Amino acid sequence: MSSENNILVKLKNAGIRQNDKWLVQGVSLEVEKGKIVTLIGPNGSGKSTTAKIALGIYKKIEGNVEKFTDKIGYVPQKISVDWTLPLRVHDFMVLTENLKDEEINKALTLTGVLNLKNKNLGNLSGGEFQRVLLARAISKKPELLVLDEPVQGVDFTGEIALYKLIKEISDKLNCGILLISHDLHTVMSATDHVVCLNGHVCCSGSPIDVAKNNEYKALFGEQASQILSRYEHKHDHVHSNDGSIKQKN
Amino acid sequence: MFDDFFIRALFAGIGVAFVTGPLGCFVIWRRLSYFGDTLAHSALLGVTIAYSLEFNIAFSVFITSSLIALILVQLQNKTNLPGDALLGLLAHSSLAVGLVVIGFLTFIRFDIMGLLFGDILAVTVNDIYIIWFGGALILLILKLIWKPLFASTVNYELAEAEGLNPDRAKAIFTILMAAIIAISIKMVGLLLITGMLIIPAAMARNISDSPLKMVTYSIIGGLLSVLIGLFSSLEFNTPSGPSIVAAALFLFILSLLKIKQTIKLKN
């Protein structure tokens, strides 16, 4: 199968300008079926903006974006529901698509929040809300998932479980995922392609390539590239508590 | 059946309440009460045009209000004035122009009070048809655009990203707003239409925990307001619009008591 047919969304030299200032420019990337592409970069580097460009939320952009699917699930970075709008988790799940009750239950179970189904959205904690957002995005079985910091505010063990879930979904539904994350550990271990942004694309490639890149080191510091080397080596040795390294048998 | 003016007013009012219920919820959710006010104020201009050109009033008001909405969008794109200033500008200037035009139309006798506050004596059989057919059409269209409109009310970007075309839904909703003002102006009067839209919906919010319930209660609240308002209007010889809105206010206050109770229960 040629990879051309698997492309879900393709950005070519895309960017957006607001009040004569570039929010982000010259971004080229593509998300394929079954692949996870991760955007990393410091605050204000244009990660969310790039995701919104890919989603077609902005109307006046430079460059071009081609979308090859309509089945999209989106977890925005921030969402606030006004008090005037009484909305239960259940109502929120069917916001953009009519789902059967069992589909709703399944998605909520996967993210571990089935018990919140009849709760008001305004009464959820930050972490619970993120789980509901993720459940909603996956419940419609999308071909493309765009996740803007999907685990913010989720506790540590939950975070690991959710990232595992995201990886599973990508495999099971064979959907492409555009992920924005701050967590370099996860990014480097579960991602197929990394795009490092800082107003433009600093560097991109496989996690290993990016970690070796000097611009990446300049942006995140020397330690960040060590994160990866630990992953890279973890298969042939173990780090013991005293700092010595033992070879695996 | 429609011989009696009061029966006509009842039918007209009930028809209006069915439509203002759900639209009012969106007015509250999307924070459009001043927008509704602006459209309603501009309705006076529509009425004067109707009189001078011998048009149907509802039709003329619908066209004028839609035009004002269009002008508002243009102004929003072209100036840096904040939204509320633009709304005030349009509301009062269109009201003023309407009143000035009335001053010129000396050959027609206007019942200004009736226009501003509604007049049940003025409701004709023809008006009832306009309200019921127009109202049914408004509700049908609202049902068709419900998903994109509601989704974008919760979060615009989510709706846009998942392909629901919220901009189109918003444009259609604006037209529906102009339409409800056009069909209800005779009943409620142009100064009080926004009250008829938001007060039953606000009452409904106090006692609902889901969007559908809020819409349902908002309709019921509107119907009760119309019934109480019209009967007291007949009884005490008060203008119909203020009586209906005052009844809605009464229901709203009752719903506040219910909130107090639930808070007490929770504690």
Enumerate the residues of chain A whose CB falls inside 8 A of the CB of residue B151: 95-96
Architecture of domain B5-193: Orthogonal Bundle (1.10)
Enumerate the residues of chain B whose CB falls inside 8 A of the CB of residue A91: 210-212
* CA proximity to B13, closest of B255, B251, B248: B248
List pLDDT tens digits, range B153-185.
999 999 999 999 999 999 999 999 999 999 998
Handedness of CA B94, B95, B101, B107 (dihedral sign): positive
Q: Tell me the ipTM for this assembly.
A: 0.85
Give the mean pLDDT of B95-113: 84
* A84 → closest Cβ in B28, B157, B163: B28
Instruction: Quickly list H helices, A197-238.
Output: 207-212, 214-220, 222-233
Contacts of A9 (CB under 8 A, 6+ apart): A30, A31, A54, A65, A66, A67, A68, A69, A144, A176, A178
The pLDDT of residue A230 is 47
The reply to whether residue B154 touches residue A92, judged by beta carbons under 8 angstroms, is yes
Is residue A121 in a domain? no
Q: Which domain holds residue A191?
A: 3-71+142-237
Distance CA B205, CA B32 (A): 16
Burial group, residue B49, by CB count within 10 angstroms (0-12, 13-18, 19+): middle
Query: Does A238 contact B at CB distance below 8 Å?
Result: no
Overall domain count for chain A = 1
The pLDDT of residue B265 is 61
3-state secondary structure of B4: coil
DSSP assignment letter at B44 = H
Query: Does A81 contact B at CB distance below 8 Å?
Result: yes
* CA proximity to B242, closest of B175, B176, B193, B181: B193
- Shortest distance, CA B148 to any CA of chain A (angstroms): 7
The pLDDT of residue A3 is 57
3-state secondary structure of B157: helix
Enumerate the residues of chain B whose CB falls inside 8 A of the CB of residue A57: 157, 160-161
N-term to C-term CA, chain A: 38
Is residue A59 in a domain? yes
The pLDDT of residue A226 is 67
Query: Does A117 contact B at CB distance below 8 Å?
Result: no
Contacts of B127 (CB under 8 A, 6+ apart): B8, B12, B58, B186
Is residue A62 in a domain? yes
Q: What are the two backbone dihedrals, phi and then psi, of residue B31, each rounded to the nearest 5 degrees?
A: 55, 55
Please check whether residue A212 is in contact with residue A179, taking contact to mean a CB–CB distance below 8 angstroms: no
Is residue A126 in a domain? no
Which residues in B have their CB inside 8 Å of a CB on A?
Answer: 28-29, 147, 150-151, 153-155, 157-164, 205, 208-214
The pLDDT of residue A182 is 76
The pLDDT of residue B168 is 94
The reply to whether residue A84 touches residue B159, judged by beta carbons under 8 angstroms, is no
List pLDDT tens digits, range B15-58.
999 999 999 999 999 999 999 999 999 999 998 888 888 888 89
Residues of chain A with pLDDT under 70: 1-4, 225-249
How many helices and strands in chain A, by DSSP H and E? 9, 11
- Give the CA count within 13 Å in the CB-facing half-sphere of A19: 0
Q: In what order do the strands lie in the sheet with A62-67?
A: A21-32, A7-18, A62-67
3-state secondary structure of B87: helix
* A74 → closest Cβ in B28, B158, B208: B158
Distance CA A236, CA B106 (A): 97
Length of chain A: 249
Residue B83 has pLDDT above 90, yes or no: no
Query: Does A138 contact B at CB distance below 8 Å?
Result: no
To test the contact with chain B by mutation, choose from A16, A87, A132, A180 the residue with the greatest count of B C-beta atoms within 10 A, namely: A87
Is residue A189 in a domain? yes
| pLDDT tier at B267, thresholds 50, 70, 90 | low
DSSP assignment letter at B124 = -
The pLDDT of residue A247 is 56
Enumerate the residues of chain A whose CB falls inside 8 A of the CB of residue B29: 82, 84-85
List pLDDT tens digits, range B128-158.
999 999 999 999 999 999 999 999 999 999 9
The pLDDT of residue A1 is 43
Q: Where are the domains of chain B?
A: 5-193
And the tokens for B151?
């989704």
The pLDDT of residue A2 is 45
The pLDDT of residue B264 is 63
Distance CA B119, CA A141 (A): 54
